[in-house]
Structures are given as structure tokens and as C-alpha cells.
Amino acid sequence: MAECGASGSGSSGDSLDKSITLPPDEIFRNLENAKRFAIDIGGSLTKLAYYSTVQHKVARVRSFDHSGKDTEQDHEPPYEISVQEEVTARLHFVKFENTYIEACLDFIKDHLVNTETKVIQATGGGAYKFKDLIEEKLQLKVDKEDVMTCLIKGCNFVLKNIPHEAFVYQKDSDPEFRFQTNHPNIFPYLLVNIGSGVSIVKVETEDRFEWIGGSSIGGGTFWGLGALLTKTKKFDELLHLASRGQHANVDMLVQDVYGGAHQTLGLSGNLIASSFGKSATADREFSREDMAKSLLHMISNDIGQLACLYARLHCLDRVYFGGFFIRGHPVTMRTITYSINFFSKGEVQALFLRHEGYLGAIGAFLKGAEQDNPNQYSWGENYAGSSGLMSSSPELCPTQRARSGTFDLLEMDRLERPLVNLPLLLDPSSYVPDTVDLTDDALARKYWLTCFEEALDGVVKRAVASQPGSVDAAERAEKFRQKYWNKLQTLRHQPFAYGTLTVRSLLDTREHCLNEFNFPDPYSKVSAAAWGRRGAVGGGGSLGAQPGDRLGPAAAW
């Protein structure tokens, strides 16, 4: 998450809107090469999507056939490594408050060099409200897209392309996020989108889905009733109040109704028998925190039960939840999860998405890019340019819960070849290539993060040495050091930021950061020299290591 500095101190939304400054290398990256745009504008947040081309160095390995030769005697290497310039496709997604939309559009207009399109795909309720502003600022025609179609397309895209996109929430676990392995067949599933109201959609294939139900009791209900009860107008402030409340002070529980007899009914005494039930008879005032917590429980339980009933009716066992009501808030996810488990007796699973806030923008972009058929490619998350899943624990980093002046980022790179499941696997959905889950194992996580931190100096030296003719290699290597160090510190506090943390994902993150600063293979010189010395150990790509690099067991990778 990148902070956006303000040069003024205006108190109104308009004055703040005019005063912010946006560093192009941190927020709207590679904007000069942007080719196509899409935008999703909700009630409070805007999600902008654009496509760009990125030129960077790529290490290519060419193998030789030395059959019949004694390569040890002739000192002929079995391969050679060459570095080539390549242009690849990248998708950028930026999320920010609507307060900053005019400043962001001005920034894009000032920094946009050229674009191939004259149209911007737009979805969300704000697509109508801000249509004239977008067309005036960007000189692009706004083409409005259906909200639900965009959500479904976006959901299908992230489920197919981002490993560990979906997770279950378990309150008492450490950490609380339990990521799911990508299933080779994501269909069918139920998508419950909780915005102002609730929409429930059955998704059967890439292009076949059906709206099967919904409710008027959703996020807007929580916001509206919460404002009346607490006099708090901001949605995130309501969530913050709820996180500090005790709903049992307001709600009537089963044990309040039946006393000790609730056990004969097979019910827990802590179950809510009547939301706000105590407020009718208690002769006292209730705190804003307790009322907000009771309200959040009431609406979340109602949505969970409704989703469960529709899932059972249509014989579905996977329910994905999205929409601005979720926002990664732990109480919301816990209550919905509990409700689903309770009413389905564990047969239906409540799943949440790391990038649920981007679904509409991704879908709108895909609608505008249909002629290029982006679904024929595989895409991978670029960890170097993505914010990652923010922590829901207030004690870890309180500023991460603040929305004002912050921007969330997601970047995805097009892979060279489509990814497919290995046909030799008996059950691809249950195959886990990593032997150690560092998200779950705190001791192993501390050990491996320390290994990578201690190896960083060696990697920086190798990166500079791999490009002796470059005048700015040392400067770029220092930028790599800072970025990767920051990523490692983030993963110390939020090991779930990019899904399940493994040694492989740490290596991927390092490689992404190296590529970001044009170091495709810091160990190419070492590898080439190693083959010139019999008995030497060669490193492979950016995964290799030398004894002086102090990477410890990671050298085995």
C-alpha cells in the first residue's frame, strides 16, 4: 500500500482532492505505455484498470548436444545464457477513494503519452455519476458495462490465474487466513455480492450465470441503520466501532430465554435468540460500540443463512463472498463463516477473495479487450508491484485500516506459455508442491526470512557484477535491495500478504523485484565461470547461490 502525500491542509474533500501529489513510479506505474483503460466506480472507492507493455531484460538458456564428447575434458558447457530485451504485457489495477478521482484523472491526462483506444469501459454506480468528468479529463468515450457481468468475469479471472486467491477465515487460527489450492475446475459456484443490497448469482460456466436471488438487507442497511444508531456517517468508522463492541449487551441470547434448559434443545447458550432483544426491556443506554456490533452480527448472520439456503437449493458447496461490505473485516468474515457452517452443518464452505475489490474493474477491462482474447493466456501476480492482502489485526499496523490517502495496487504479468495441470497427477486439486507452509509454521518462517535477509548483500553484489558495462547497475541494485527488504518486512508481519507463504514464493518475490530493476539473472556470470572450473558448483538463474551469499539451505533451490 502506497501513501500519498498532501501538500495542503484543507479540511474539505474538494481542497484535499486538489492538493494530493501522486508519484508515478509508485502508483500509476508505466503509464506512458498504457494502451487500454477500464474503471469501476462504487459508492466510496474507485478501481482503475489499464494495460501496458513492459520492456525488460530476460535471461535465455540455450542447451547444446555434446553427446559423444568428453565435456569435462573439453571444458565445453552444456548450455549458454544470453540476455535479451523483450516486451511483455502487464495489467495494472489501482484502488483509491472517490475523493481523489479528479486529481487521479488529471494525473493520468498529464502523464499519458499515447493510447490505442478512444473508449474506456466503465462499470459500477459511479460510472453514471462521473461519466462527464471522465470524458472531459481523459478525452475518452465512456462505454458503460453491466455490473454483474463484470463481477463474474473478474471473479473467474482471479480464480483461474492467481494461486491462493480464495481463503477461508478462521478467527482463532494464527494466522486467520487459510488459503485454498486452485481447483482445476472452478465451476459451478455461488457468488454473493454484498453492496448496498445483496445479489446472489449461480455461475455455471465462463459465460453462463444466473441471478437467483438477493436481499435488500445488505451493506447499505448496515450503513444506514448504523448511522441512525451511532450518529456515525462513515462506513469504516462503523466497522471500527463494531470491532470494539460486545453484542451480548444488546442481543438476547438463547441462555437468556431458556436458562440452563437450552442444553436439552441441543443449542449453545451463546447463540443469538433475538438481535437487539435486550433493548426493549433494559432501562439503560447502550454504547455505540455494542449497537454497531449487534447490527453487524444481525446483517451478517442474515446474509450467511440466505446464502446457505440458496447453495443447498442449487446443490452447490462453494460460496464466494465479495462486495464493499466485506472489506477484509474480521468480524464480518467470522460471522458469515459461522452462519454458513451452522446452517449447512459444515457441508457448504464460505470463501473470501484476496482481490475481491478489483473484480468489477477486471471484468470491465476484459469486456473491452475481448478482441485480444486475454483468457487464452495465463497471467501471474507481480509481487513487486502489488500491495498484497492487508492485515485485519489492528495491533499489527493500525494505519493499514485507514483509507484516507492510501492506494492499493495489483499488477499481473502475461506469462510466456499457458499454465496447465500436469496430466500425470492423480488429483491436481490436492497436489501441493511445497513441503513447508511458512504461513503456518512461525519458527520456520522466522528462519527462512532471516536467511533471505542475510543473503541480500550477496545478491546485490552479484547483480552489479552481472552487468559490468552498465553505469547505473549499482543504483538499480540499491533500489532492488530496498524494495525486496521492504517486502520481507511486510511478510514478517503479514505472512499471508500474497497467499500461502513458502520458500518458493520468497524466491518468486525476489525474482520479481530483480526483474523490476532489470536484473534478469544475477548469477549468469557465476554459472558460466563455474563450468570453466571442474568441480565448481553452478547456480541456476536468480535461484543459484554461492557460499559467500549466506543463503543457507535455500541454495538447494
pLDDT, tens digit, for every residue of 476-517?
Answer: 999 999 999 999 999 999 999 999 999 999 999 999 999 999
pLDDT given at position 74: 54
Same domain? For 133 and 18 the reply is yes
Band of pLDDT at residue 33, cut at 50, 70 and 90: confident
Rounded to 5°, the CA angle 200-230-192 comes to 10
Tens digits of residue pLDDT in 406-447: 688 999 999 988 888 888 888 887 888 888 999 999 999 999
Residue 294 lies in a domain: yes
Residue 176 lies in a domain: no
Band of pLDDT at residue 214, cut at 50, 70 and 90: very high
**Is the bond leading into 520 cis (omega within 30 degrees of zero)?**
no
pLDDT given at position 231: 96
Higher-pLDDT residue of 536, 121: 121
Residue 258 lies in a domain: no
Tens digits of residue pLDDT in 341-362: 999 999 999 999 999 989 999 9
Same domain? For 347 and 295 the reply is yes
Q: Choose one of 305, 326, 353: the last residue of a domain.
A: 353
Mean pLDDT to the nearest integer, 9-17: 37
Calculate what percentage of the chain has a pLDDT beyond 70.
81
Same domain? For 7 and 142 the reply is yes
Same domain? For 394 and 525 the reply is no
Same domain? For 58 and 37 the reply is yes
Same domain? For 103 and 233 the reply is no
Same domain? For 13 and 118 the reply is yes
Q: Which of 10-19, 58-67, 314-323, 407-416 has the lowest mean pLDDT?
A: 10-19
48: CATH: 3.30.420.40
Q: Which amino acid is at 238?
A: L
Q: Please say if the pLDDT value at position 449 is more than 90.
A: yes
Residue 462 lies in a domain: yes
Tens digits of residue pLDDT in 147-206: 999 999 999 999 999 989 999 999 888 888 999 887 778 999 999 999 889 999 999 999
Cβ-contact 299, 218 below 8 angstroms: yes
Q: Choose one of 430, 454, 482: the last residue of a domain.
A: 430
What's the structural domain count of the chain? 3
Band of pLDDT at residue 532, cut at 50, 70 and 90: low
Mean pLDDT to the nearest integer, 46-63: 82
Q: Please say if the pLDDT value at position 527 is more than 50.
A: yes
Burial class (CB in 10 A: 0-12, 13-18, 19+), 270: exposed
Q: Choose one of 407, 430, 453: the last residue of a domain.
A: 430
Q: Please say if the pLDDT value at position 401 is more than 50.
A: no
pLDDT given at position 43: 80
- Residue listed under C-alpha cell 474493474: 361
Tens digits of residue pLDDT in 236-276: 899 999 999 999 999 999 999 988 777 777 788 899 999 99
| 39 bridge partner residues | 48, 122
- Residue listed under C-alpha cell 492423480: 426
Which triple of cell numbers denotes residue 335?
Answer: 460471522
Same domain? For 346 and 460 the reply is no
Q: Please say if the pLDDT value at position 136 is more than 80.
A: yes
413 torsion bin: left (phi>0), alpha (psi -120 to 50), beta (else): beta
Which triple of cell numbers denotes residue 182?
Answer: 486452485
Same domain? For 420 and 451 the reply is no
- The contacts of residue 378 (CB under 8 Å, 6+ apart) are 161, 414, 415, 417, 418, 419
**Among 50, 41, 47, which Cα is nearest to 120's?**
50
Query: Looking at 71-169, which runs of residues are DSSP E strands?
Result: 79-97, 119-123, 141-144, 166-169
Same domain? For 517 and 498 the reply is yes
**Is the bond leading into 163 cis (omega within 30 degrees of zero)?**
no
Same domain? For 9 and 158 the reply is yes
Q: Please say if the pLDDT value at position 29 is more than 70.
A: yes
Average per-residue pLDDT for the chain: 84
Q: Please say if the pLDDT value at position 391 is more than 60.
A: no
pLDDT given at position 296: 97
Residue 297 lies in a domain: yes
Full residue range of the structural domain in which residue 492 is found: 442-556
pLDDT given at position 392: 42
Higher-pLDDT residue of 538, 205: 205
Kind plus residue range of the DSSP H or E element containing 483:
helix 473-493
Which triple of cell numbers denotes residue 269?
Answer: 447458550
Cα distances from 229 to residues 219, 233, 272, 329, 503, in angstroms, run: 15, 10, 20, 20, 48
How many helices (H) and strands (E) the chain has is answered by 16, 17
Residue 270 lies in a domain: no
pLDDT given at position 388: 87
Same domain? For 296 and 413 the reply is no
pLDDT given at position 112: 78
The conformation of residue 211, written as its DSSP 8-state character, comes to: E
Band of pLDDT at residue 78, cut at 50, 70 and 90: low
Which triple of cell numbers denotes residue 337?
Answer: 463463516
pLDDT given at position 402: 41
Query: Looking at 131-274, which runs of residues are DSSP E strands?
Result: 141-144, 166-169, 177-179, 189-194, 198-203, 209-215, 252-253, 272-274
Rounded Cα distance between 527 and 545, Å, is: 10
List, edge to edge, every strand of the sheet that includes 189-194. Answer: 177-179, 166-169, 349-353, 318-322, 189-194, 198-203, 209-215
Tens digits of residue pLDDT in 288-308: 999 999 999 999 999 999 999
Residue 208 lies in a domain: no
Residue 128 lies in a domain: yes
Rounded Cα distance between 169 and 341, Å, is: 12
